[in-house]
Chain A
Amino acid sequence: MVRMAAYFLAQLKRARKLAPAQLAASFLICACAGALVYLLVAQGVLDAGGTRYRIGMVGDLSDSYLGFGIAALQEMDDSRFMIELVGMSEAEAEDAFARGELYAVMRVPEGLMDAVVSGENDSLITYTPAEGQKGLGTMVMGEITGIASTLVTSSQSAIFAMQRVLIEEGRVDEVNRATDRLNLSLINLVLSRNGFGEVEILGYADGLSMKLYYFCSVFLLLLLFAGLMNCAFFARRSMALARFLKARGVGAFGQILGEYLAYLGLVFLGLFSLSLPMAFLLERERIGIPEWEGMGAFPFWGFLRTLFPVVLMFAAMQFFLFEAAEGMVNGILLQFLCGAGMGYLAGYFYPAAFFPERMRMIGGFLPTGAAARYVEEGLFGGASAGAATAVFVYLAGFFALAVLVRKRRIGRE
């Protein structure tokens, strides 16, 4: 026991010496991951998308009302984040369309506004998408056109009805002023429709919002790949030392335990160094997670507590993989392949809800799936006994396997 403690302290010293280089590597990876998290969950960025559909507008754009409408849409409406309307000639549109620079072309026929004003419905805007077949985008566009038509027709009906009532009542001098007021009211109604509709996502895993889901996934991925970031810890290990330790009374179990505890120190140091800037961002509300809104960084510390058993389990898994692999390069490859494969199946890259039933089932049984379930349940007031048991069974299993492999290697000829 004394020798094991001494060995642990020596490993801890080793970890301390390796820490600066490991932290630098971790920071580099975390900076990339942080940027990814920010892009995914930072307030407004996800909503804004970042990719805008460029739609070419050709035809009769001379009408001042239409021009005003397009300008209003591009400058004031939320759709400006997703759609860029570009006025151009037919020839320019054809060229841009051929080069793939346009998502679609909208043709405004001549005399459209006159037809709208006179209540006729024989002049139509044609929408031509770049896609060869009727995709989701085209269908949505069709729906939007339908909504716009209804809005235009209804507002025109309202204006005509109001004008007729005023004329019948002999208040002709009020018609123009009342029409302007009603027009402005209708425009206001259309342009202030930020809260007009909302896409409600039921949740990817036990009701987590997409932002929190990805937030958890990125953290789990970082922990899963901690073995790669801290691979220097597994380098320069010699079986001579393992045999020497055995001769001095520190068997495979004591060796693995001593190394594992020191390695955990390195992993927690990395996690802590990542958590501080993350907590800062949450405190400043630079990362908007719906479930944690208005609570600052407080729920994040709870999230880290929830992660604790997962850190232990993933560290044990990394230990086993490095122990099982012959040589450093094999170890790194094994870490990467296992991490990427299991992470994918457990839904760390894409929400598991997107996968077929069988894949989801397999993913749920994997250590990564057990970890995800534990964390997701933990975020909703505490993990179930089943989720906790799965994590601890995997932890014990990986640890036992690492000990077994070490034992075999010590005794190998």
Chain B
Amino acid sequence: MEVEAVEIQKKYPGKTVLNGVSFSARAGSCVGIVGSNGSGKSTLLSILAGVRRADGGAFLCDGEDLLRRPGMIPKVLGYVPQADPLMEELTAWDNLRMWCDKETIKKSLSHGALKLLGVDGFLRTPVHRMSGGMKKRLSIGCAVVSDPKLLLLDEPSAALDPVCKESIRCYLEAYKKEGGVILMVTHDAQDLELCDDCYILKGGGLYPYQYDGDFHKLAAALCEKNF
């Protein structure tokens, strides 16, 4: 799958959040987007996921503009928002059942994404009794159980312990290897190591950044006025 965002624009009254954002990603790659708080990273992701409307631009997946054909979005991509999109009173199984049939879940639990994420270990646990790491893995599981080719992640490792981060990272590497495209908004250095391309979102514009593992340099770049 080839993914390309073209001149995406979003304005709120008195504020331009995205001013012609463009990037591209090829199959089996991961794109990381960093930026300071309130720079519009989550807004960009939610526009690409079809949650919010863009004021202009296109989001092409294999040539199809998903912003013009929002009905295709659920088939093409999986979206994991920053907060966990789960029903607290229900079990992991019940939450997964919202998004696909029993057979698909069972298949995924035996040798698919849910197995890799370790969801089988807490399948009957109600969400309100889960740890933050379990919830995040389940959230990703809900997004990928129907096997989308593009995955949008909004800060997937925020406030997670190292073991959980590693578990998610292992899964995302496997996802990439299978030809999936990951678009990730993050503040985490470990997450960025997974990314093939890195961009900085600043002042409504998206700028390529060569991340070399030096997080301090990245922080300095974010602070720089004329980046």
A: which residues have CB within 8 A of B? Answer: 3, 6-7, 9-11, 13-14, 17-18, 236, 238-241, 243-249, 410-411, 413
Contact = CB atoms under 8 A, between A and B. Distances in A.
A316 to B, nearest CB: 22
B89 A243 contact: no
B63 interface: no
30 contacts: A3-B99, A6-B97, A9-B97, A9-B98, A10-B98, A13-B90, A236-B128, A238-B84, A239-B83, A240-B81, A240-B85, A243-B46, A243-B51, A243-B79, A244-B80, A244-B81, A244-B85, A244-B142, A247-B50, A247-B73, A247-B74, A248-B79, A248-B99, A249-B71, A410-B51, A410-B52, A411-B51, A411-B52, A413-B12, A413-B17
Nearest to A410: B51
A247 B84 contact: no
B199 to A, nearest CB: 21
Given A10-B94, A240-B81, A413-B12, A247 B49 contact: yes
Contact of A14 (B83, B87, B97): B87
Nearest to A10: B98
B39 interface: no
Nearest to B15: A413
Contacts of B142: 244
Contacts, number: 78
Interface string B66-109: 00000101100101111111111110001101110000000000
B73 A249 contact: yes
B19 interface: no
Contacts of B87: 10-11, 14, 241
B89 A14 contact: yes
A140 to B, nearest CB: 59
B198 to A, nearest CB: 24
Contacts of A11: 87
- Category for how many chain B residues contact A: 20 to 34
User: Most B CB atoms within 10 A — which of A6, A11, A413?
Assistant: A413
A-B interface, 4 closest residue pairs, ranked by CB to CB distance from nearest = A244-B85, A240-B83, A247-B79, A249-B74
A246 B43 contact: no
A282 B143 CA distance: 53
B71 A240 contact: no
A247 B51 CA distance: 6
Contacts of A410: 51-52
Contact of B94 (A13, A244, A248, A411): A13
Nearest to B85: A244
Given A9-B98, A11-B87, A246-B51, 7 more contacts: A6-B98, A6-B99, A7-B98, A10-B98, A238-B84, A247-B50, A413-B43
Interface of B: 12, 17, 43, 46, 49-53, 71, 73-74, 77, 79-90, 94-95, 97-99, 128, 142-143
Nearest to A245: B85
A108 B3 CA distance: 105
Contact of A411 (B53, B81, B128, B143): B53
A176 to B, nearest CB: 87
Contacts of B49: 243, 246-247
A238 B73 CA distance: 22
A223 to B, nearest CB: 24
Given A238-B83, A247-B49, A247-B50, A3 B94 contact: no
Nearest to B84: A240
A192 to B, nearest CB: 65
A246 B50 contact: yes
Contacts of B90: 10, 13-14, 17
A245 B50 CA distance: 10
Nearest to A246: B51
Contacts of A18: 89
Contacts of B95: 10
A380 B49 CA distance: 54
Nearest to B10: A413
B66 to A, nearest CB: 11
A241 B86 CA distance: 6
Contact of A241 (B50, B85, B94): B85
A67 to B, nearest CB: 71
A375 B79 CA distance: 47
Contacts of B73: 247, 249
